[in-house]
Each structure stands twice: as C-alpha cells, then as structure tokens.
A and B are shown apart, each in its own frame.
Chain A
C-alpha cells in the first residue's frame, strides 16, 4: 500500500465511521428559532415604521403651529402699534 493509499484509506474509514453522526436533539428547532428571530423587526425598524405612521400627524401639527405663531405675531404687532400710537398722542 502506497503512502497516498494509506492516507486515503484512513480518510475513507473515518468518513464511513462518522456517517452515523446526526444533529443533536432540538437542533432543527434551534435553527428555526434563529431564523424567526431574523424576521423579528429590530428596535430601529420598529421606531422607524412607527415614526413614519406619525409623520402626517406631525406635519399637520407643525402647520397649525406656524399658523398660530403668525397669528400671535400679528396680534403682538397690532398691540405694539397701538401702544406706540398712544405714546405719540401723549
């Protein structure tokens, strides 16, 4: 038997002998669980999607805030103009 044959014979014997090896009990469930965990959305995804849903509400709120600010600003201007006019009259 040549050296190469010797090595091949040992590999073949060990290959045959390890054929009986099977995954441990519960291996399939462990793999399925790991895959299911892959499907679960991450914290970032959850936050992002929730934020996207809130985006129209936030846009309306921002528009209302701008309108309110403009109105308040106008009122303040009117009141200041009135008070300056009163001062000038005095």
Chain B
C-alpha cells in the first residue's frame, strides 16, 4: 500500500469482511484459513490501490516517520524505499512479487490467493522482475 495508515485501513476492512463471511457461513473451508485471509487482504489492497489510482490520489508520497523509536523509523524508511522501487509495477505483479519474496509463499499458494492459475502467477513474477531490471538499467 505504500504507507502504514492505508495498510491498516485495508487490514481492518479485511477483518470485518472475514468476520462477515464467518458469521454468514460464506466461508466454505475449501481453502485453508490462511489462504482465505491472505486472499481477502490482497484483494482489498488491490481494490484500494486501483480506486486510489482512479481518483488520481498519490498518498504513497508521504510516509510519516513519527517518533516511535529508531528501529521503527528504519522500518518505515525501508517501507518507503520498497514502495518507491515497486511503484513501477502493475498492482497484480506487485502483489505476486511481495507474496513470493517477502511473505515466502510458493506459486501454488499465490495462485490460490489471487484466484489465477500458477502459469499466470509465474508470468506476473517474470514480468515484474523484467520491469525492475529495466528500471535499474534506466537509472
């Protein structure tokens, strides 16, 4: 999401959606709870990013470093760097790359979470890396 406040909004909405699905019996337990929760969060994040893009907002620019300790400030700096770096990627490629490289999930799990085939995941990852490589060569 690029900043913590937006990420927290997405996670909060994901919890509410998960709660709603559990109480209404919508969660059919065909996938593991972990995959199901990831799916809700990832879809929420992708939707939020797309709607922000449609509205022409660029709230990623500002990362409030706050005054809550050096380690925390460094982590936020890293988040800002990550966001700047991955900004060139389309949302679905970015999500696939983050799930693989940062969350440590395999292609099968990512495919289930994103609701696409493993081939599509592989394609997104290849394209994401190609874009990052191209970006580095340009700079």
Contact = CB atoms under 8 A, between A and B. Distances in A.
Interface of A: 3-4, 6-8, 10-15, 17-24, 27, 30-31, 34-35, 38
B82 A18 contact: yes
Nearest to A20: B75
Contacts of A4: 129
Interface string B11-31: 111011001100000000000
Q: Is the interface of B mostly helix, strand, loop or mixed?
A: helix
Contact of B19 (A17, A18, A35): A35
A63 to B, nearest CB: 38
Scoring A8, A15, A27 by chain B CB atoms within 10 A of each residue's CB, the highest score goes to A15
B15 A31 contact: yes
Contacts of B71: 20
A29 B4 CA distance: 17
Interface string B64-106: 0000000110111111011001000000000001000110000
